[in-house]
Each structure stands twice: as C-alpha cells, then as structure tokens.
Structure 1
Amino acid sequence: MTLPKSLLLVALVAGLLLLIPLVAMQYTTEVNWTFSDFVFAAVVLFGAGSTFVLIARMGNNGTYRLAAGVGVVAGLLLVWANAAVGLVGSEDHPANLLYGAVLLVALGGAIAARFRPLGTSNAMFAAALTYVAVTIIALFVWKPTGAAAEPSAHLLNVVVFNAVFAGLWAVSGWLFRRANGSVLGRQLA
C-alpha cells in the first residue's frame, strides 16, 4: 500500500474511533467530551497511526512491524493515560510531566539508531528503564505539596500500572532484538 493510502487509512480509523465517544455522548452523561477533547484525541490517534506507518515501512519482516506496533501503542497509552488521569496521582500532579522523557528517549534513540532493529531495541529498553526511573522519582523523591499532593494515590495501584507500561516498552525492545536476529539470519543464508 502506498504511503498516502496508508495515511488515509489511518485517518479513517482515527475518525471511526472518535465516533465511539461521540455516539456514547448521545446515550449517557458519563461520557462528556468537549471539542478540544476530540481535537486532542484526533491528533494523538492520527499521530500514533502515522508514526506506526512510517516506522513499520523501515522494517522488512513481521517481527519488526510488531515491535514498532507495540512501541507506538506504549507511547499512545502513555500520552492518553497521562492526559486523562495522570500516571502518578491526578493529571495535575507535576511529576507526570517527567514521563515526556520516556517518549524522548524512545524516539530519540530510535532516530539515532536510524530505526535499525538492534539500535531501536536498545532505545526501547532505555525507554523502559527511563519509565521506571521516572516512576521512582515521582513516587519517592519528588513529593509535591499543596493542591498537587495526592494522599489518595494508592502505591500498589501506581506501581502495578506503571510496571505494565514499562513492560510494554521492554516487550517492544525484545521484539526489535528478535527482528534483528531475523535480519541477520537472512543475511547469512
């Protein structure tokens, strides 16, 4: 599929996904999105889909594309969860801004590696470690005061939730590592 067709498909899927909250708003008051919520969701969904399309085109096997998909989903979920409810405490907790470093490490490392499987694998593992480091800093080092202090943030929930997110980055790194082995195996054959 050509790049313009792929991007058109991404836009179509993003639009269809946005119909879910739009329809839900017609039947329940539990879903109450504003225009800016829809714009944010459209940008995030289209951005993630486009990123996947561009990165997946650089690989030549299914494992590489799966690794790219897991990495993009990890980034999408990080942005979405952080904007919606926050990864530590509420979305207003200032430490949540630190999670942007995870995206910088992942994308910056992948770009520096020119999206080659081994280098991108290292970038994803570094993103997982950055995620763990940011969570530790947010929970144990940086204790906000005043309105940002969150006594209701349950430590176990935060740790488990963040471990799952860090695990997604590690799985992406592992898959990129496997994709590298597939590339080497074909080159040697």
Structure 2
Amino acid sequence: MDWSLSDFVFAGALLSGLGLAVWFVARGPRNLPYRLAVGVAVGAALLMVWVTGAVGIVGGERHAANGLYFLAVGVGLMAAALARFRARGMAFAVGGVAAATALIGVAAVAAGWGDDSARYPLDVLGGSFLLAAMYAAAAYLFARSETKRVIF
C-alpha cells in the first residue's frame, strides 16, 4: 500500500481521537456502564471511520454515500456535546446514530448504491447493521448507567 501524507494525517487523527477517548474514560465518571458505553461507541465510530476510509461500506472508499456515515457520527457528536455528555442525553444521541446508520444502509440498497461490489447488498446491509448494533448497545449502556442501582 502506498500511503500519502494525507493518509498519515488521517491515521494520526484517528489515533489521537482514540487516545482522547481513553483519557476521558480514565478521568471521567466511575460508573462502569457509562465507561463501557463510551468504549463501545468510540469503538464503533473508530471502526466506521476506518472501514469507510479504507474500503468503503457503500461501494468503494470514494463513493459519495459513505459521507453519510460521517455525517451521522458528526451529528451524534454535536448532540452529545449539547447533552453535556450526560448519560440520558448520550443514550438519545448514540441511539440516533444507531438508527441513522441502519437507515443509511437501507437507503443505499434501495437506491442501488454500491451495486458494483461482489457481495452486494450483504456488504452494505451487514456493515451498516453491525455498526448500528454497536451504537445501539452503547445507547443501552448509557441508558442503563442513568439508573440509580447498577447491577453488573
């Protein structure tokens, strides 16, 4: 693989974001479900960015529909910031990202985007639903961390 300067900058940004998330979890709330939720949500976002940037979920990595996944995560980050990273708001923000991710996959298949791949539509739907399931698990954990008694 022939990496350009922009590839190294992109990889550095991903690793910096991961390091920032680890720092936040280490210094943040001592609530285990909240910490797990942050880990799952960050892991899903990292996986989504990595896969979308490397090979693309819809078609190739340069297919315009892949930008919708970035948009969903960006809106989710803004919603999380507006919720001041509190558990209830985070549950809604990450749950919205889960729903948007699944809908993007369904819309891409309905529109016929990415139909030039060998495993279409399984790759589009499988990738979208896997990420949506990860985001949904994080949303559940955020909602669970809101309760007074947390049993783990």
TM-score band by shorter chain is 0.7 to 0.9
Q: How far does residue 174 in structure 1 lie from its aligned partner after superposition?
A: 0.7
Give the match for residue 3 of structure 2: 34
Q: Which segment drifts farther, 34-43 or 96-105?
A: 34-43
Counterpart position of 1:59: 29
Q: Which residues in structure 2 correspond to 1:160-171 (within 5 Å)? A: 160-171=126-137
Alignment match, 2:85:
115
TM-score (norm 2): 0.86
Q: Which has the larger radius of gyration?
A: 1
The higher relative CO (CA closer than 8 Å, separation ≥ 6) is in 2
The answer for unaligned runs of 5 or more in structure 1 is 1-31
Higher relative helix content: 1
TM-score, scaled relative to structure 1: 0.70
Query: What percent identity do the matched residue pairs reach?
Result: 35
Q: Residues 150 and 92 from structure 1, CA distance in 2 versus in 1: closer, same or farther, beyond 3 angstroms?
A: farther
RMSD: 2.1
Taking the aligned partners of 2:115 and 2:106, their CA distance within structure 1 comes to 16
Which string of whole-angstrom CA distances, capped at 9 and with x for unpartnered residues, describes residues 127-175 of structure 1?
100101111222213x46xxx8625352123212221111110010011
Helix, strand or coil: the match of 1:132?
Answer: helix
Distance (Å, rounded) in 1 between the aligned partners of 2:22 and 2:79 = 16
Aligned 8 A contact 2:54 2:61 in 1: yes
State the 4+ residue runs in structure 1 displaced beyond 6 angstroms.
none
Equivalent residue in structure 1 for 2:110, among 140, 144, 149: 140
